[in-house]
Structure 1
Amino acid sequence: MTTPTQALSDAGVSIWLDDLSRPRLEDGSLKALIAEKNVVGVTTNPTIFQTAITKGHGYDDQLRELVASGADAEKAVFEITTADVAAGCRLFAPVAEATNGVDGRVSIEVDPRKAWDTAGTIAEAKRLHGKVAEPNVYIKIPATVEGLEAIAETLAAGISVNVTLIFSLERYRAVVNAFMIGLEKAKAAGHDLSQIHSVASFFVSRVDTEVDTRLDTIGTDQAKALKGKAGLANARLAYQIYQQEFTTERWKLLADAGALPQRPLWASTGVKDPAYPDTLYVTGLVAPNVVNTMPEKTLEATYDHAQVTGDTITGTYAESNAHLDALAAQGIDYNDVVTVLETEGLDKFVASWNDLLTDVETTLSETAHGARA
């Protein structure tokens, strides 16, 4: 019997897990998800690493080594996270080989405090790529205005990029443009374009969270009837852009040189409102050549009871545009929504990074004094 996760894979959706830790790597649980639940990649973020490092004892040996070497929190975070990502890349190497590098990917994030620093982001991306030193690593770069040039230059250097924190359709078009600029430069520099990969991570559930709050504030029955639909509508229109941008003459020149398209990746797919189906942002965003990166809870729900009915994006564009128009008619300013979400998203990234550094500093101190419980 075909499982829901197999049905998703058959429909062209690559399932990635939004989680990575050393215990998960060592206890075989991640390997089991690859074998049993069609997981073909992993994404990470500072909060995931913070939880992994500070809870339990999976990192005790490396922490003792780092203390002995005099490492500070910044050095410790760099060494620990790159070691986990490199190990993850090795675990997924057979998947990467079987898919010619399209899947089998593990993402690691540039220090989000550099999100507004183009040169700093480029340097950090190259540093992370060199340290992990595995061909199937993705370097995550936020899609800020300053990040667009960093995305292009990182790709131009032959480094595969996961562009993260995309909310607006306009910014997504700019991300696709940066991707193509990067490949054009890589081609001019003599890089093999078939070895440079990218995904564009479009955030979904947070759009509903912000829009629903505004609709509740309006409070009318007409406003409340629009709740829970903006996230899907926004992502579906992003897929329309993907279809448009990767059929142009500009793209054809790159494809003829061996380039593969930058796939849309659906991020923030865990449902925030318990009133909504727990697989809403999975079954509602099925289409060929996309990635859905799921927290484990969403993955388990998908495997258990998701109803996968094939492509649920193509053919929805008029309806999706009509929904955004209906929101505008209620006074919901789309541009303000996505601006707020990007600002909040970056603030959360930076706060998580600072929390990670603080907790690792505490953990290093406890390790040095033999006080780890």
Structure 2
Amino acid sequence: MSEILNKLSGQGVSIWLDDISRERLRTGDLEQLIREKNVVGVTSNPTIFASALSKGDAYDTQMHDLAVRGVDVGEAVRSITTYDIRWAADVLRPVYDATGGHDGRVSLEVDPRLARDSDKTIAEARALWWLVDRPNLFIKIPATLEGLPAITQAISEGISVNVTLIFSLERYRQVMDAWLAGLEAARAKGLDLATIESVASFFVSRVDTEIDKRLDGLGRPELKGKAGVANARLAYAAFEDVMNSERWQELRAAGARPQRPLWASTGVKNPDYADTMYVDELVAPGTVNTMPEKTLDAVADHGQISGDTIRPFYEQAWNIMAELKEAGVDYDDVVRVLEDEGVDKFEASWNELLESVTKNLVP
């Protein structure tokens, strides 16, 4: 095992892999990453599945059988993706059992074309929860305004949720409110709150990509590469505020578990930046960092883990956000653009996935 990854885990950061494929599962690669790289969870998204289906022959047999059965492309995609998620959940089940359900989790996203429809999102979440039928599943629901009621409803029904595509601090607070409301409704129904887990996926590198582009136009390059980490650090401060609230303390006393902040989009987009910056600079207890394998390998090799790199830097983070505002960066517009682009990108990947399956549904 990597000493650096051991140190990261020891700081209270759960290491999750931001990738899944049938090939990774059938070769035992995921099991190896669990043993050797401290991986204790897996996240997926439409882009990851579209990429997996475009490589190799791992899906050929199932694709053939689906074609022989004459299923439509929507059912085919659901069958293919849930098969992989169920398999990954079984591989991670020992981690889930060993950590009392804290880790060993696998995330599956609802159809991103439903991101602006609350009722259809919750219906899809219920269907996927039933279809995978594993206690260590997370259903990924996007943090759009329409996604908020779906988050509350899913949690209230005992469905564990990974809230995805969070960019703004205001939306993150709304997400935590939706999660708390769901727990309160679950408690009123008599559900065991200890069985309902949630994480909130706060995106990091995409914030820098968008703001850096604007800083170039504003002639303020000295501020580049600072916004993503500062934004995430302030998200953790908001998380701590909720953890100290009376509302949460009442739910905690009833058996509820925290909704952990999850740092997503941690692969560095700008080659001028350290390739481990979104891991090294976002270390704090009770968090998750989901990494593409390239980032995981980089951290294992030369990550700089030096204790808590979030809570001592709240003031610095606020100062950076103030400097960005003074420079002319419109934060509200940035996060709006990023949310819209995030939904559009996942929808485009979903359509690519549908097209790929359609082409390969050959008896």
TM-score band by shorter chain is over 0.9
| Partners of 2:2 and 2:37 within 8 A in 1 | no
Aligned to 1:182: 182
| Residue 13 (str. 1) matches residue 13 (str. 2) | yes
Question: What RMSD, in angstroms, separates the aligned Cα atoms of the two structures?
Answer: 0.8
Q: Within 2, Cα distance between the matches of 1:123 and 1:343?
A: 22
Aligned to 1:285: 282
Alignment of structure 1 residues 12-31 onto 2, 5 Å: 12-31=12-31
Aligned to 2:236: 239
Alignment-mate amino acid for residue 350 of structure 1 = E
| Residue 329 (str. 1) matches residue 326 (str. 2) | yes
Can you list the C-alpha shifts for 1:42-91, whole angstroms capped at 9, x where unaligned? 00011111121231100111111101110121111100100110011000
Q: Within 2, Cα distance between the matches of 1:249 and 1:47?
A: 40
| Partners of 1:54 and 1:360 within 8 A in 2 | no
- SS at structure 2 position matched to 1:127: helix
Aligned to 2:106: 106
Structure-2-length-normalised TM-score: 0.99
| Partners of 1:21 and 1:49 within 8 A in 2 | yes
- Give the number of aligned pairs: 363
Alignment-mate amino acid for residue 238 of structure 1 = A
Aligned to 1:227: 224
| Partners of 1:156 and 1:183 within 8 A in 2 | yes
| Partners of 2:2 and 2:36 within 8 A in 1 | no
Aligned to 1:133: 133
Alignment-mate amino acid for residue 117 of structure 1 = D
Q: Within 1, Cα distance between the matches of 2:55 and 2:323?
A: 46
Structure-1-length-normalised TM-score: 0.96
Aligned to 1:320: 317
Q: Within 1, Cα distance between the matches of 2:217 and 2:348?
A: 28
| Residue 115 (str. 1) matches residue 115 (str. 2) | yes
| Residue 308 (str. 1) matches residue 333 (str. 2) | no
Deviation at 1:2, TM superposition (A): 6.0
Task: Identify unmatched segments of 5+ residues in structure 2.
Answer: none
Q: Within 1, Cα distance between the matches of 2:239 and 2:314?
A: 12
Q: Within 1, Cα distance between the matches of 2:72 and 2:297?
A: 37
Q: Within 2, Cα distance between the matches of 1:13 and 1:328?
A: 31
| Residue 55 (str. 1) matches residue 55 (str. 2) | yes
Alignment of structure 1 residues 205-216 onto 2, 5 Å: 205-216=205-216
Q: Within 2, Cα distance between the matches of 1:53 and 1:344?
A: 23
| Partners of 1:15 and 1:291 within 8 A in 2 | yes
Aligned to 1:371: none
Alignment of structure 1 residues 124-273 onto 2, 5 Å: 124-219=124-219, 223-273=220-270
- SS at structure 2 position matched to 1:352: helix
Q: Within 2, Cα distance between the matches of 1:218 and 1:314?
A: 30
- Percent identity, aligned pairs only, is 58
Alignment-mate amino acid for residue 270 of structure 2 = D
- SS at structure 2 position matched to 1:159: coil
Aligned to 1:349: 346
Q: Within 1, Cα distance between the matches of 2:40 and 2:305?
A: 18
Alignment-mate amino acid for residue 31 of structure 1 = E
Q: Within 2, Cα distance between the matches of 1:121 and 1:98?
A: 32
Can you list the C-alpha shifts for 1:311-368, whole angstroms capped at 9, x where unaligned? 100121111011010001011011011011101111101111111101110111xx33
Q: Within 2, Cα distance between the matches of 1:72 and 1:53?
A: 17
Q: Within 1, Cα distance between the matches of 2:237 and 2:349?
A: 33
Can you list the C-alpha shifts for 1:162-181, whole angstroms capped at 9, x where unaligned? 00000000000000000000
Q: Within 2, Cα distance between the matches of 1:119 and 1:218?
A: 42
Task: Identify unmatched segments of 5+ residues in structure 1.
Answer: 369-373
Deviation at 1:190, TM superposition (A): 1.0
- SS at structure 1 position matched to 2:352: helix
- SS at structure 2 position matched to 1:145: coil
- SS at structure 2 position matched to 1:173: helix
Can you list the C-alpha shifts for 1:19-51, whole angstroms capped at 9, x where unaligned? 011110110111000000000000001111112
Q: Within 1, Cα distance between the matches of 2:77 and 2:102?
A: 28
Alignment-mate amino acid for residue 252 of structure 2 = A
Q: Within 2, Cα distance between the matches of 1:213 and 1:96?
A: 41
Can you list the C-alpha shifts for 1:208-231, whole angstroms capped at 9, x where unaligned? 000000001112xxx111110000
Aligned to 1:77: 77
Alignment-mate amino acid for residue 70 of structure 2 = G
Can you list the C-alpha shifts for 1:121-151, whole angstroms capped at 9, x where unaligned? 0000000000000000000000000100000
Deviation at 1:3, TM superposition (A): 1.2
Alignment-mate amino acid for residue 149 of structure 1 = P
Q: Within 1, Cα distance between the matches of 2:181 and 2:317?
A: 29
